[in-house]
Structures are given as structure tokens and as C-alpha cells.
A and B are shown apart, each in its own frame.
Chain A
């Protein structure tokens, strides 16, 4: 059984990387260079959280760290800080994933929301303490809210299309803790 599981995990990993690259690609397209009056959701973060809360074994922490750092560099954010917070957030959700398995989607959403709010808050506080130029507060809040609003849709796609489902109680745990 575990022989069959391993390729699936790595397949999903590849899928995840591919989706991440596609998201970055779309964000970099120079379609409009006007400063926007609204901020869209951070799809990549929603996707990562959806994976982390459901099947943490599909998103190895090293991979998340590398992708997050890459995005920091490409999207002109202060390099490292948001990536570090993302890693912490993913780890938090990973630790909660076994408990979330038995609960409803609402509690998963709440877990993601609390993680994201704490991440955003600490990001802003740290940047303020270190006197780094920041984006307007309104845009940041808008992005936070829209990411939270779009999370159910991302989770639905992950569940329905990609097949990222929580482990059912009957599932055999493959190679957990065996590295």
C-alpha cells in the first residue's frame, strides 16, 4: 500500500509546484500597470493552506519555504519575513490537521482565518518596528479579507478537482513518521 501511496504524494507535490508557478506567472503578467484601488486574494497562500490543513504530507515544509522565498523575491516584498511567517502558518495548520480531520469545514476555515490574521498582524507589526515602508493598511486588510473569502472556493477545487481530501478514519496511514 505504501508503495502505491508514495508516487501519489510526489505527484501531488509536482502538481502543487506547477500550480504555484502558474499563479506567479499570472501575477507577473503586465496587463495593467495602473495602481489598483483594490487588492485581490493571495491565491497561492490559500492553496498552500488548503493543502496544509487537509493533507500536510503533500506540502513538504522545505518546498513551501523555497517557494515562499522565491515569491518574496519576485513580488518585491521584503525578502524572508513573509516567507518565514508562511512557514510558521503552514506548520501551525499541519499540527492542527489531525484534529481538523474529524471536524466540519467551518472549523477548518476558522483555523485558516486565525492563522492568516495572526500572520498579517505580526507582519505589519514587525515591519513597523523595523521602520520598513509599508503598503496602505486598507489594501492589506482587503487582501486578507479576499484571501479568506476565496478560501472555500480554493478548498473546493482542491477537494473536487485535485482530490486533496482529508484522510478518512478507515484510511491506512502510510509511512507516517517513517520519513
Chain B
């Protein structure tokens, strides 16, 4: 083997080795650069994805559609059964709808009586899922709205019912939604009715972990999980799912959004509210709780004495 190589790569060897060395230098350099300054490289990645994936789109949409049709076809075999189930569910839903309408009216009346100011209504942009992460290790999807539509990093993405994930990586025409199930996803939530704060931690399984609960004893399986809005991550009160207990006795979240078929996602526009950091001018109008207020207080005390 050594003889063979020695003969055949006699004078192309150095050039090849140089090329190989340069390649390795570039690739490892890029990796190290990513490790040091990942936002910049991630932005570059978003640009590349933005270029490449939409050019696949003309073929991707029909193929995905065809596969889904095939899958639907399989479910036709159980059509009668499904029809019965749906009828029964619809009956239950009607009852719930009635209850919800009554509650909504009551709520509106009470709010009106109390003159309560609620948050301004969230508006949203709806996008279509173009591609998924393509790897079993990362859970994310690519949607066809991006910086052009005003999408910004960190906004929440929902399907019709519950939270799906958040925007992480925006290109001009595409944006990546990091799903709740990804190993790097952490969302602050509260549980209801117990009102405990916790984190939903993705671990590459269907039901992400519920951890860092304030008092774990008070959280029961079946509790509803909503975003808490802590740390300015999301608007508060978006539905995430329900608490379930796994076989190991750990709390997990059954996600309300239909992860099996993510097709249309709505991205909530959430501009940061003004934050209130200082305690405000409580002592005297125009004077903050700074040195001036302290001076005034001192002067008043001196006058008393």
C-alpha cells in the first residue's frame, strides 16, 4: 500500500496535501469561529438556508402533499369509526362552546364594570411550513415568512390552538421556528390552577420536561400549562399544554399544538412593552429617589430639630 501510494502520488502529493490542509483549516476555523461568535455564523446560516430552501420549494410542496394524501388514504379505511368518534366529540364540543360563550359574555360584562385595561390584542403573521430540520437531533421547522414580513428573533409561533415554538434565526424570506421539543428550548411557564412557575425543557421527546417547579407537590397531572411571560421571552397566557406524569414520576407537558401535522403557523407580533425599572418619583414631583430627595429629607429633619 505504501509502495503504491509512493509511486502514484509522487508529485501530485504535495499539492493535494496543501489543498487538504487548507480545507481542514477553513472548516475547523469556521467551527471555532462559530463557537466563539455564534450569532454571526447563525445569521450566515439563516442567509444560506434562505437562499437554498426556497429554490427547492417548487418540488417540496407537491411531494409533501402527495405523501400526506397517501397517509389520508390509509386513514380512509377507518372512516366509519372516525366518523362516529367525531360525531361524539362534536356533541361534547357543542356543550363546551355554549359554556364558553356564556363565560365570555360574563367576562366582558365584568371587565366593563371594573373598567379594566387589558393588554393590546396581539396581532399575528401566518406562515406555511416549508421544511423541517432534516436531522433527527434537531427539532425545528422553516416557515416562509421572514424579515421581509417584519418577523423578529424570539417571537412566539403557534398553531391554531397552542404554542409551537419560537423564532430562532430569520432570513429575508424564511424564518426558523425552534420547536418546544428541541433540546435547546427552554420556556418559562405557569401552571393553572396551582399557579406555580416552572420551565418547559425540550429533550427531543414528544412530551417535554416540566422542571424547576416552585413547589412540585402542588402541580398535578392534568393542570393546564400557560406561558408566564417571565424574562420577556413570550407574551403571558399562551396555551402550551397539559401536565402529565411519566412512568419515572417526572412531570412532563403534553403539548396542545398538533405536532404531527404542522402546516400553518401563526407568529405573534410581540413588541416589548416599556419596562419600568426605577421606583418612580414618589416623594416629590419632579425629584427622583436620588441624592436630591435625600437632601430634601435631611433638610426637613434638620428643620424639625
Q: What is the interface of chain A, defined by CB distance below 8 A to chain B?
A: 24-25, 27-40, 61-62, 65, 69-70, 73-81, 83-84, 87-88, 91, 95-96, 98-99, 130, 132-133, 135-136, 139-140, 143, 173, 176-179
Nearest CB of chain B from residue A31's CB, rounded to whole Å: 5
Which of A30, A31, A135 has a CB less than 8 Å from the CB of B183? A135
CA distance A98 to B183 in the complex (A): 43
Instruction: Tell me which residues across on chain B come within 8 A of A80, comparing CB atoms.
Output: 26-32, 34
Contact partner of B23 among A33, A79, A87, CB < 8 A? Answer: A87
Residue in contact with B31 in the complex, picked from A31, A32, A76, A79, CB distance below 8 Å:
A79
Q: Are A30 and B30 in contact, CB atoms less than 8 angstroms apart?
A: no
Determine the distance from Cα of A61 to Cα of B24 in the docked complex, in whole angstroms: 11
The number of inter-chain residue pairs (CB within 8 angstroms) is 158
Say if the beta carbon of B116 comes within 8 Å of chain A: no
Q: From B45, which residue of chain A is reached at the shortest CB distance? A: A73
Taking a contact as CB atoms under 8 Å apart, the answer to whether B132 and A65 are in contact is no
Find the A residue at minimum CB distance from B7: A177
- The reply to whether B136 and A98 contact each other, CB–CB distance below 8 Å, is no
Q: State whether the Cβ of B118 lies closer than 8 Å to any Cβ in chain A.
A: no
Residue of A nearest to B262 (CB): A33
| Proximity string of chain B (216-260) to chain A, C-beta cutoff 8 Å, 1 when within and 0 when not | 000000000000000000000000000000000000000000011
B262-A83 in contact (CB<8A): no
Complex-state Cα separation, A69 to B45, whole angstroms: 11
Question: Would you call A143 and B136 a contact (CB within 8 A)?
Answer: yes
- B12 touching A177 by the CB < 8 A rule? yes
By a beta-carbon cutoff of 8 Å, the part of chain B in contact with chain A is: 1, 4-5, 8-12, 15-16, 19-20, 23-24, 26-32, 34-35, 41, 45, 48-49, 52-53, 56, 59-60, 63-64, 67-68, 129-142, 179, 181, 183-184, 203-206, 259-262
**Cβ of A23 to closest chain B Cβ, rounded Å:** 10
Contact B8 A33 (CB under 8 A): no
Residues of A contacting B19 with CB < 8 Å? 61-62
Q: Are B260 and A32 in contact (CB under 8 A)?
A: yes
Given A87-B24, A179-B15: A30 in contact with B64 (beta carbons within 8 A) = yes
Measured between beta carbons, the chain B residues less than 8 angstroms from A140 are 137
Residue in B10, B34, B67, B68 whose beta carbon sits within 8 Å of that of A78 in the complex: B34
Contact of B134 among A27, A88, A143, A173 (CB under 8 A): A27
Least distance between A136 CB and chain B CB atoms (Å)? 6
Q: From residue A123, how far is it (CB to closest CB) to chain B in Å?
A: 11
Of the candidates B4, B27, B34, the one whose C-beta lies within 8 Å of that of A65 is B27
Other-chain residue from B5, B12, B53, B205 in contact with A98 (beta carbon distance below 8 A): B5
Whose C-beta in chain A lies nearest to the C-beta of B28? A84
Contacts of A65 in B (CB 8 A): 23, 27
Select one of B11, B131, B259 contacting A34, CB under 8 A: B259
Contacting residues, chain B, for A69 (C-beta < 8 A): 27, 30
A-B contacts, 29 of them at CB < 8 A, read: A25-B56, A27-B134, A28-B56, A28-B60, A28-B134, A30-B131, A30-B141, A32-B260, A33-B132, A33-B259, A36-B136, A37-B205, A39-B136, A75-B133, A77-B138, A80-B26, A84-B31, A87-B20, A87-B24, A87-B27, A96-B1, A98-B1, A98-B4, A98-B5, A133-B183, A135-B137, A135-B138, A173-B8, A177-B11
